[in-house]
Structure 1
Amino acid sequence: MKKKCDLTGSYQGRQKFIWYTRLTILLVLFSFLSASAATDSRFTNLASGVDDSSPVAQEQKFNVKGTVKSQSGEAIPGVTITVKGTNTGIISDVNGNYSLSAPSAKSTLVFSFVGLKTQEIAVNNRTSINVVMEEETIGLEEVVAVGYGTVKKRDLTGSVAQVKSERLENEKPQSVQDVLRGNIAGLSVGFSSLAKGGGDFEIRGDNTLKTSSSPLIVLDGVIYQGGLEDINPSDIETIDVLKDASSSAVYGARAANGVIIITTKKGKQGKPMINVTSSVGVATMATLQDVHDPYDFINWRTDVMKSLNYYNAATNQKLYKFDDPTKLPEGVTEAMWRDGSTGELLDIWLPRLGLLPVEVKNYKAGTPTKWGDLVFQNGLRQDHNLSLSGKKDEVTYYWSLGYNSNEGVIVGDNFKTIRSRINLDAKVTDWLNVGINTQFANRDESAIRAAWGQIVSSSPWGSIYKDDGVTIRISPVDDLGRGAKYPLYDKMYQNRRRVYNTLISNLYAKVTLPLGITYQLNFAPRSEWYEYMNHQSALHEEWAKFGGQANREQSRIYSWQLDHLIKWNKTFNKLHTFDVTLLANAEKYQSWQNSMSTQGFSPTDALGYHNMSAGKSTANSISSNDEYSTGDALMARLFYSYNNKYMVTLSIRRDGYSAFGLRNPRGTFPSAALGWVISDEEFFKNDILTYTKLRLSYGENGNREVGRYDALSSMSIGKYPYQTISGTIYESNQLYVNRMANPNLKWEKGRALNVGLDYGLWGGKIDGSIEYYKMNTLDLLVDRKLPDLLGFSSVATNLGELENNGFEFTVNARVLNRENFKWQSSLNIAYNKNKIVHLYGDMVDVKDAQGNVIGQKEGDDTANRWFIGHPISQIWEPKILGVWQKGEEVEAAKYGQYPGDFRLEDVDNSGKINQLDNQFQGQTEPLYRWNLRQEFNIYKNFDLSLSFYSNWGHYGTYNVAKNRDGFPERVNAYVTPYWTPENPTTDYARIYSNEGGAVFNVWRKRSFVRFDNISLAYTVPKSIVQKADISNLKIFATVRNVAYWAPEWKFWDPEQYRNPDDNNNFTNGPSPRTFTVGINLTL
């Protein structure tokens, strides 16, 4: 018999679902009202530890008091003591004492404190209970975030590392990058010398060719797409880094580069806490690469002119003409030196060195200019934060407001931001929690920096002002063609506004269902508003011809994410633990951008971008650009543990993203992980290796970092002139395709294996982990070059394969634990090496020494310097053998060079240096990274920390050794050794050396060790501060970027000097050393 279909029931089911969905959304949107409603006297007052209105309180209360101490006998303030199963609680005072009223003499008290074992103690009619808190064995009960949930460290099966902000609070980190730098094995944190700080992240090496290697950022459980500058470090509670594929696979298509999970602070049980942190500091030059000072400059110009004329037969017999006429070589008379010239000696000599009239005048007057003093400064830094947190009845709250203002070491480099956060959670009923996490940030990046690179070519004998003493010279030597521009000139005639405003929220509702099941709805909208306005004045000598230029740009981004989470956690017979997580996710991104520009203002451009209509109509330009994308995902994860000894984690995620081709919009990403606590086995137990856990994981992740429309054709509008037979010229509009579509474009996919061993020695006095990993990235997203006959230069496609492998070692040690002296140390070491396994699949012939074809191999991409079997950052250039010396003129001449020029290896003995002579010479990315941290507590109230880190085994361009700072007309240069016949060095070329037509760079090892931070803090004794109703007062001082050691690198900072231009300059400026002092006060 067929079962009858109950359409009515189906309809009712749908109506119930709709009703529940509406109810949930309303509860989330009105969480503030719900929170207020929850706050009445019916709930427990945690500050007093008593609930007078509850039925339990009306029964006979049982008072308990006692003292909480450490194993060394010290009182522990701040321990949380709660009555199990209730909200009654109290916090131990400065002397470790507590007193609270328990509901009955049979109650159980729970004692908890960060870093110490949580203890449950039955009252059993006792009125006095003293407790000795024990240290937690290597933090196995600590909780870490693993994506859409948390797990105890003991239960981890993947590779996850955590940083707690409280450990770094004395160092006053200014950014998320500062929190993470040097604290996680395998995590590379970039370096920025700008006032706003920053730097890129990279986990376990570069695993892509075209797209970004930056990891996914998750903020309070929601994928974060904003700038890290908008996150206040003072709001951060913990940061967890998910390094292997099994840990990050729950984020699927966006987790190929790893995941960084940031968890912000929440209110805690007890009375309200008001915290104020305020710090001021100064940024100074950590490294200064000198240019020639005024009088050394004259000696250098003498050598410049001698070097330029040394190999010129017409002039090399009279090189003495460039010598100081008061210090002529033996045998040279003044008449010989004059060589027919008349007039004052300085008026003859200085122009021979290339000095212009302004320089000659200032030299004779003895009035040089120190250009560095105009562009470098000691930058003031301020950071002030206020927060209010706590738990009132069933409402947990955290609110913060922060102001940050930083000046860099370059004049004009200024960054300001105001940031605020609200985290609220309210327990409305026994089965419903609602909450909101909201972050607002206003970022001002309007400041314009001085063109500090101009000092390299600014003559120390140039002038700031013209002869009237008021008007600024655009060129210090009145010759832009041969000299520099005044470093502040552009800044003087430019007005800019660049402001970002961002608002990010996560509204959630959590419903507790029967059988241990919970359902959570997250809705996370994000809005960003951006304004950019710029005016270049017509009063500027170079810009005057445009009659003033101005442009305005405004953009808005709005995106949202919606998560439906179902979780189930259950333990059977105290042996079998199951934890299940199910996710359905949807997202949407939209952006709108409008811009306009004009020039030729009339009658004046004084109002600049405030009066765009005053620009010439024919010069007006208006453009817009809108973007749109959507995505969705389904995910399931299962964790199973037997007796907390054997563990398995399985997960699978399926993603969809609108940017991929029509044939491959979705990808599936599975993972599996195993864990075995070997030390719990009877056969393994011993007193030395007290904890050992083996972990094994394998998983797949995706990378979707492509342009939103890369898979589609793009069309452009243009005008095309044509001429008729009669000679008339017309202009027609045309619409043409400028990008080839690829409907087969799909996900870049990573497959990773991780083997880990966690260990603990002597009961946790020493602990750490050892990791080995191997990751292959397939179907790389690249732009494939196309033949010209197709009409397109390239097409976005999937080709090639990369491999990253390496190991990580971490050790933490409690070196000493005395009453008045504690010492903790941590060290982590990481090794990573990648190689290209496949590229485009094009096969080329392999030939022997005689030119005979002996086989085939996959071809390399020499244009991008990508080679099969070699690292992405492989150096492939002619090899420098040294410097041609005197006596080698004939051999050097074969290559168009002279003694003093760099000598390159002619591999094929062709008599010329070209691409056939290129050789592999190391790589630009470090092979090894290590971090060392030392922490001391002295006489209980003093805390001292020192941190070091190092990058080792890589090279950087060191073209300053060529001594070719542009053209001979440049009037200054960095102070660098150079070859002369009297100083025949083999590491540096002569001034304005000849490269012989070859294209090459000078490479030097960029390995370094950095003393990154030293911090000292003093905690004022509570017996003093409590008299002023202050819970805690700490005074701290810190120095960041203390010093570095780079044995083979002698030019600026080896970490900062990454992408120099042709003149050995770099964009961000010199690295700062910051000195900071501040207070941390809690009421």
Structure 2
Amino acid sequence: MEKRLMTVVAGLALSTSMAFAQSQISGHVTSSEDGSPVIGASIKVAGTNTGTVTDIDGNFSLNAPAGAKLEITYIGMNPAHVKAGKNMKIVLDPDEHSLDEVMVVAFGTQKRSAFTGSAAVVGSSEIGKAQVSNPVESLKGKVAGVQMTQVSGRPGESSKIRIRGIGTINASTDPLIVVDGVPYDGDMNTINPDDVESLTVLKDAASSALYGARGANGVVMITTKTGKTGSSSITFDAKWGSNSRAVPDYKYINNAAGYYETWYTALNNYALNTLKYDANNANLWANKNLTADNAFGLGMSVFQAPAGEVLIGTNGKLNPNATMGRVVSNNGQQYYVTADDWVDAMFRNSLRQEYNISAQGANEKGNFMLSFNYLNNEGITFGSGFERYSARLKSEYKIKDWLKVGANVNFAHYANNQSGVGDEGSSGSSGNVFTFVAMAPIYPLYIRDAQGNIMMHEASGTKLYDYGDGSINGQKRAYIAQSNPLAANQLDKYKIEGNNFNMQGTVEVRLPLDVTFTSINNAYVDEYRTTSTTNPYFGQYASSNGMVYKYHERYFNYNLQQRLNWAHEFGEHSVALMLGHEYYNQSYAYLYGSKSNQYSPSNDELAGAVLLTNTNSYTREYNNEGYFGRVQYDYNDRYFFDASLRRDASSRFAKENRWGTFYSLGASWVINKEKFFNVDWVDDLKLKVSYGQVGNDNIESLSLGYYHYSTNYDIVNSNGSVSLVPVGRYGNRKITWETTGEFNVGVDFGLFKNRLSGTFEFYSRKTSDMLFNFSLPQSFGYTGYYDNVGDMINNGLELTLNGDIIRTRDFVWSANMNITYNHNYVSYLPDAKKTLTVDGVQGYTNGGYFIGEGEPMYTYYLHKYAGVDHETGEALYYKNVKDENGNVTGQTTTKNSSESDYYLCGTALADVFGGFGTSVSYKGFDFSVDFMYQIGGQIYDNDYASAMSASGKSMRGMALHEDILKAWTPENKNSNIPRLQYGDTYMASQSDRFLTNASYLSLQNINLGYTFPKAWISKLNLSNLRIYAQANNVWVWSKRQGLDPRTSLTAANASYYPGVRTITGGITLTF
């Protein structure tokens, strides 16, 4: 019996040892896209810590139990699960358009198949195609529902982002930015785009509901790169290029003779029609005043006509005997006066250079990513530019199987030089650029001696600039005298210099019962100093012997998050729960001082000036706290349900109205996994539906950080006593956040082996309790107060398509497109705001816009242009005809625009917008182009309107458009442009005449590169070598030359820094 028992035990031991016997397995991993080896793919034995990675040829080998399951994963590919064997051939599919793709969502990650809301992901390869200083700029034209405008092309400037239309009138429309799971209120230009792995845009309320009172305008989630499993690597990237002006000027009259002739015509018509002179006397009067320093003239002449001859003949043309340039005398000295090309002097081609170096690695215990960046982006105007040094360290380490810690630290030092933007030391967008662009081509830029040589200014060592005030050469400029923007660029200064720290620590603890505790603690500091000086030699501050301004500003933010996550599978059922708490604090401090009477222009400190002119300081603080939870359910990878709830508080509201509740519900159904579904050419098909409610606490606050629920006062000096003076609006403790509820339904699909994939969605977004300003009588002491009373709706459709037109081992041709239709309108206004009825619609005016029920935002409220009186050439405008009861019965016309009526003249909001692009790769070559477009909407072309008028004193010396030469004349009576006449204040009155179709098509990016074969570079110890060329913001096609609708949602204005075209070449090496 004993021997039999021993035999049985020995047999069991032998069978057990055979079952756990290790055998060596091997294989080769390739990509289904082109058959190339996948380098660094993770190979892991399921349920163990045993694993390896593929080598440079995609091969791997390891020991594993017979019959074991292997998990093969690689970033950007769908994971594979296969049974272990010898000489395995494993093919991974790209996950870009698959429902198995894992995406970043609020407070975590989720498979795309399980996601019930609306979101879009832009990966690092797409981000790298755009030459930008901050990563969010790369979203232009890439994501359906996302519309971006950039007022200024100045280096270091950021775009305005709108997601799914406009949902407010007075509060902010900016989306919430989240970096690595933490809300970020800093300057996006301090984040190196090369550090970013992906951008995820959460578009609907269900997706952003967990962010509560800050998620109403959508969320942009930035995920930075982490170390990848496999061998460590070092990557170096360098690019050099040239910046130039991307959008040409309007078709201005760009020669002095043409300008003089045009202004003469305006004066001559004034003499004929207003002064009633005959032709000869009108000619003499117009010539006498043409270059005079009076209300009619241009102030000076740069032409010399022979003695006794007029400058402009009765035919309206320049005297053929007149010559450009003339010698004038002032204070016993002679000077030469001639016209200069101001625009050519203003703009230049400049250098853009950027360098990135990064090191990364990972194993089963942890990972790291270390990067350094240097960017120097010189502006296309002298004195402007953006420079940045940045570094990032991101790491995770598993101390124990149950404990993981992480750190994520980013530092950036930046300098933003705006000296070439503002005028006389200011940073305003309407400074130097406007002066240059709007200057007529008839004025000197420099002071020249009698021989025509540009004179030098000894004290500053610069050229001697003509300020147009007659102080040196006696010649006065009619337009913006006592100013010279090029001199301001050289002699004045406006520079912002700062340091930015963003530090994050993470602890993850695995607890019993499948519970995970995560704590994220983030601190952010941005401290910057602005220095502005104006020179003591020339301009409006010369009498003060120069000015020095100093601004010191500091943001200190911290964010504390604690989360509990639990997930479990019960057969075909999966459940995940999350509970969390978040606290956010922002502190801001402001300090300002200014002095005049500098000792030396080279000393830009307050200590270097004598007279104190102004000082000020203040602080403000913002707090947000929330408790939140989410539940997710999945049955058999086919049916998904999730719900979330957040209880939020914001310090921007009074204590009794500080807390609010926000929620979301969502469900999705993966139809292609149903047994009854058997359509071979459909790979993925998912139906999703969701509803969520979120808030917007980002309401307008006063400059000193006051909030609208409080009544505020300024402390002032009243005859030596301290007094309180009411500031702005009366406080209303009842105001609270604007609330947005959104319904979203959509279909995700992948067809023909996912060679065609996309998403089609419908959304309906309603904003309630919009913040409105109500007026108060002046006797009350306040201008008004705010209250929550209005509603607005955005309904829209979105379509995104991605397709591989051709896909072979060596050649891939793909294309993508997205299109968005959005309809916006105000759905409810309180009776107190219905102060006006226009075209049968009740509402009120706000600037040049009409806010009315049923009408979209930015509906223009303007006079209507009726053309030209063919007999007199005067402008005509429509006017209502009313009966004795005040009812409108028809229309007539009037020549006096102030007598004409106002009408609703369409909206600035586009009907359709989106983007499209295509890319081609052949062996090592790659090429791609990306476009952005907008269809519909109207933009008020301010610059064109200004350049089509010679109506009065303020227009003297301003640039004129070529179209003004097509104005009505007795020989051209069919023109739709009114006669050109000085003093005719109605010829260019604000009306729908200057509304222009806002449609455009812009070529955003062109990329061309070559990646060398690995067989060529392996001997150099390189794993990757790529050379490339890029072009960014290449061209824009719009209704009118010079018009760039991308700069503004409502009005075109060339006073802003123009867009910049960048063309670069670069090289990337990976060791």
Same fold (TM over 0.5): yes
CA contact (8 A) 2:417 2:494 kept: yes
**SS of 2:852 mapped into structure 1:** coil
The residue aligned with 1:32 is none
Does residue 1019 of structure 1 match 2:1005?
no
Query: Matches of 2:22 and 2:485 in 1, distance apart?
Result: 77
Change (3 A) 1:647 1:971: same
CA contact (8 A) 2:78 2:101 kept: no
CA contact (8 A) 2:33 2:93 kept: no
Does residue 373 of structure 1 match 2:354?
no
Query: Matches of 1:988 and 1:1033 in 2, distance apart?
Result: 59
Pairwise CA distance, 1:814: 1.4
The residue aligned with 1:429 is 400
- Greater strand percent: which structure? 2
Task: Calculate the aligned-residue CA RMSD, in Å.
Answer: 3.2
Does residue 453 of structure 1 match 2:453?
no
Query: Matches of 1:87 and 1:769 in 2, distance apart?
Result: 38
Change (3 A) 1:995 1:74: same
Bigger relative contact order, structure 1 or 2, given CA contacts below 8 A and separation 6+? 2
**SS of 1:195 mapped into structure 2:** coil
Please report the TM-score for the alignment, with normalisation by the length of structure 1: 0.84
Q: Which amino acid aligns with 2:506?
A: Y
Query: Matches of 2:305 and 2:1009 in 1, distance apart?
Result: 70
Query: What is the aligned counterpart of 1:832 among 813, 822, 830?
Result: 822
Query: Matches of 1:185 and 1:156 in 2, distance apart?
Result: 17
Query: What is the aligned counterpart of 1:615 among 610, 631, 646?
Result: 610
Query: Matches of 1:991 and 1:177 in 2, distance apart?
Result: 46
Please report the TM-score for the alignment, with normalisation by the length of structure 2: 0.85
Deviations along 1:217-241, whole A, 9 cap, x unmatched?
1100011111111111101101111
**SS of 1:488 mapped into structure 2:** helix
CA contact (8 A) 1:426 1:435 kept: yes
The residue aligned with 1:242 is 202
CA contact (8 A) 1:454 1:487 kept: yes
Change (3 A) 1:764 1:696: same
Does residue 199 of structure 1 match 2:159?
yes
**SS of 1:138 mapped into structure 2:** coil
Q: Which amino acid aligns with 1:633?
A: G
The residue aligned with 2:856 is 871
CA contact (8 A) 1:843 1:857 kept: no
Change (3 A) 1:288 1:861: closer
Query: Matches of 2:951 and 2:813 in 1, distance apart?
Result: 53
Does residue 1000 of structure 1 match 2:991?
yes
The residue aligned with 1:742 is 732
Query: What is the aligned counterpart of 1:882 among 867, 871, 891?
Result: 867
**SS of 1:515 mapped into structure 2:** coil
**SS of 1:780 mapped into structure 2:** strand
Task: Give structure 1 stretches of 5+ with no counterpart.
Answer: 1-55, 326-340, 722-730, 850-855, 890-898
The residue correspondences of 1:455-534 to structure 2 (distance < 5 A) are: 455=436, 456-460=438-442, 462-467=444-449, 469-471=455-457, 472-475=464-467, 478-482=475-479, 485-534=483-532
Change (3 A) 1:684 1:119: closer
The residue aligned with 2:6 is none
Does residue 956 of structure 1 match 2:939?
yes
The residue aligned with 2:1046 is 1055
Query: Matches of 2:973 and 2:1022 in 1, distance apart?
Result: 69
The residue aligned with 2:14 is none
Query: What is the aligned counterpart of 1:190 among 127, 149, 164?
Result: 149
The residue aligned with 1:551 is 549
Which piece of structure 1 moves more, 406-415 or 198-207? 406-415
The residue aligned with 1:344 is 307
Pairwise CA distance, 1:784: 2.1
Pairwise CA distance, 1:432: 0.5
**SS of 1:382 mapped into structure 2:** strand
Pairwise CA distance, 1:526: 1.0
Query: Matches of 2:881 and 2:675 in 1, distance apart?
Result: 64
CA contact (8 A) 1:537 1:605 kept: no
Does residue 807 of structure 1 match 2:781?
no
Pairwise CA distance, 1:199: 0.4
The residue aligned with 2:63 is 102
Q: Which amino acid aligns with 1:682?
A: K
Change (3 A) 1:1049 1:262: same
Query: Matches of 2:361 and 2:416 in 1, distance apart?
Result: 34
The residue aligned with 1:19 is none
**SS of 1:314 mapped into structure 2:** coil
Query: Matches of 1:73 and 1:629 in 2, distance apart?
Result: 52
Query: Matches of 1:985 and 1:1055 in 2, distance apart?
Result: 34
Query: Matches of 2:375 and 2:863 in 1, distance apart?
Result: 48
The residue correspondences of 1:397-408 to structure 2 (distance < 5 A) are: 397-408=368-379
Query: What is the aligned counterpart of 1:1028 among 1011, 1014, 1020?
Result: 1020
Deviations along 1:606-637, whole A, 9 cap, x unmatched?
45442437423xx4432210112322100011
Change (3 A) 1:411 1:907: farther
Pairwise CA distance, 1:110: 2.8
The residue aligned with 1:666 is 659
Pairwise CA distance, 1:215: 0.5
Query: Matches of 2:878 and 2:636 in 1, distance apart?
Result: 66
The residue aligned with 1:976 is 962
CA contact (8 A) 1:275 1:388 kept: yes
Pairwise CA distance, 1:74: 2.7
CA contact (8 A) 1:494 1:534 kept: yes
Query: Matches of 2:325 and 2:286 in 1, distance apart?
Result: 16
The residue aligned with 1:675 is 668
Identity in percent: 25
Pairwise CA distance, 1:860: 3.4
Which piece of structure 1 moves more, 288-297 or 759-768? 288-297
The residue correspondences of 1:826-865 to structure 2 (distance < 5 A) are: 826-842=816-832, 859-861=843-845, 865=850
Pairwise CA distance, 1:107: 4.3
**SS of 2:208 mapped into structure 1:** helix
Pairwise CA distance, 1:353: 9.8
Query: Matches of 2:867 and 2:755 in 1, distance apart?
Result: 52
Change (3 A) 1:624 1:1057: closer
Query: Matches of 2:841 and 2:96 in 1, distance apart?
Result: 54
Change (3 A) 1:350 1:735: farther
Query: Matches of 2:838 and 2:962 in 1, distance apart?
Result: 44
The residue aligned with 1:76 is 37
Q: Which amino acid aligns with 1:870?
A: E
Does residue 317 of structure 1 match 2:279?
yes
Change (3 A) 1:342 1:805: closer
CA contact (8 A) 2:803 2:814 kept: yes
Q: Which amino acid aligns with 1:629?
A: Y
Deviations along 1:818-864, whole A, 9 cap, x unmatched?
23321111111101111112223328699999xxxxxx996434666
Q: Which amino acid aligns with 2:996?
A: R
Query: Matches of 2:638 and 2:195 in 1, distance apart?
Result: 36
Change (3 A) 1:713 1:461: closer
The residue aligned with 1:852 is none
CA contact (8 A) 1:288 1:1070 kept: no
Query: Matches of 1:99 and 1:259 in 2, distance apart?
Result: 41
Query: What is the aligned counterpart of 2:875 among 901, 904, 907?
Result: 901
Which piece of structure 1 moves more, 140-149 or 310-319? 310-319
The residue aligned with 1:694 is 687
The residue correspondences of 1:42-61 to structure 2 (distance < 5 A) are: none
**SS of 2:986 mapped into structure 1:** coil
Query: What is the aligned counterpart of 2:385 among 404, 414, 419?
Result: 414
Does residue 925 of structure 1 match 2:896?
no
Deviations along 1:911-959, whole A, 9 cap, x unmatched?
5545872112211121210211111112x21111111111111111124
Pairwise CA distance, 1:435: 0.7
CA contact (8 A) 1:305 1:353 kept: no
Q: Which amino acid aligns with 1:428?
A: I
Pairwise CA distance, 1:811: 1.4
Deviations along 1:302-329, whole A, 9 cap, x unmatched?
434334434234335235559999xxxx
